Structure 1
Amino acid sequence: MAEIQREPVPRVDTGELDVALAFLEFQRHCVLKKAEGLSDEQLRRPMVASGTSILWLIRHLAGCEREWFGRQFAGGEPAEESEPADPPAAEVIAEYRAAIVASDRIIRDAGDPEALTAILIDGVRKTLRWVLAHMTTETARHAGHADIIREQIDGATGR
């Protein structure tokens, strides 16, 4: 099957923070692209035994953005647990986009890969570099899951 959602990886090579952020942005984009053109039902449809859906992945990643950049790195308050159990798909996607904007602002405001987390992780403060690598890995892992789920739904492939 021909890849119909394929895009090149970033070519940015202007500095450590620029490169790290470009690759994280690329992975985020890949996740969001998997949701494009799908109905609410398709976004919610679990395609694996664990019950994972594209919408679940997006909601999970929004929480990861808030946790790792907003709380662990910047020292913000933990996210409230009062979110509705079954919000509209458009709301979940909008929340992910808003979490990305907030994370990017935190990253750019820090401006230094050596900046340290506000919260101790395993008893030490980690660098922004570490948080970026962690979130890029987490997002890429789930982008792969979304890619497989999307292919199962309608045959669309590619990164």
Structure 2
Amino acid sequence: MAETQRQPVPRDDSGELDTATAFLSFARQCVLKKTDGLTEEQLRRVLVGSGTTLLGLVHHLAGAERVWFGHHVAGGADTGDVEMAVPDGLTAEEVLAGYRAAIEASDAAIRAAGDPETPVAIPVDGKFHTLRWVLAHMTSETARHAGHADILREQIDGVTGR
């Protein structure tokens, strides 16, 4: 089967922070790309026993962005709903816009921290991890869910590729 959504991984190797954010951005775009051209029903379609949906993955990742970058890195309130279930009343458009807004806010928090060695403002399990750790955690979390999104999208309409 042809990979109709394939794009190359980032080639940015200009510095630790630039490289880390390039790979996080790539993983985020891979998730968003899986939603392109799908209907509300397709985005909410349950295709696996766990009940995971494409829209649920996006909702979860938006909450994770808010928790890790907005709360832990920037020191804001913990406003992240990290559940996979999309609350009743939220449209697909609202969930996708929420993820994009969370990404924008996260990128601002990353830029404000500026240095991978910067400790988080709010400790994680009592430990002041660094921005580097949060970037690595969120990149792996987002990439893992991008893989889930790949499988769900292929089941919906056969579209493949990262």
Could you tell me the TM-score, scaled by structure 1's length? 0.96
Instruction: Tell me whether 1:148 sits opposite 2:126 in the alignment.
Output: no
Identity of aligned residues (%): 66
Gaps of 5+ in 2: none
Query: Structure 1 unaligned runs (5+)?
Result: none
| Aligned 1:47-86 pairs, distance under 5 A | 47-79=47-79, 84-86=87-89
Alpha-carbon shift at residue 66 of structure 1 (Å): 0.2
Pair 72,80 (structure 1): closer, same or farther in 2 beyond 3 Å: closer
Match of 2:38 in 1: 38
RMSD: 1.3
Q: CA deviation at 1:32?
A: 0.1
Higher RCO (Cα < 8 Å, 6 or more apart): 1
- Does the 8 Å contact 2:12/2:22 carry over to 1? yes
Partner of 1:138: 141
Give the Cα–Cα distance (whole angstroms) in 2 for the partners of residues 11 and 38 of structure 1: 29
Question: Hey, what does 1:111 align to over in structure 2?
Answer: 114
Distance 2:150 2:94 in 1: 21
**TM-score of the superposition, structure 2-length normalised?**
0.94
Measured after TM superposition, the shift of residue 146 of structure 1 is 0.3
**Which whole-Å CA distance do the structure 2 matches of 1:145 and 1:34 have between them?**
10
Q: CA deviation at 1:122?
A: 2.7
Matched, 1:100 2:66: no
Q: Which runs of 4+ in 1 moved over 4 A?
A: none
For each residue in 1:106-157, what CA deviation from the matched residue of structure 2 results, as whole angstroms up to 9, or x when unmatched? 1011110000111112321000000000000000000000000000000000
**Number of matched pairs:** 158
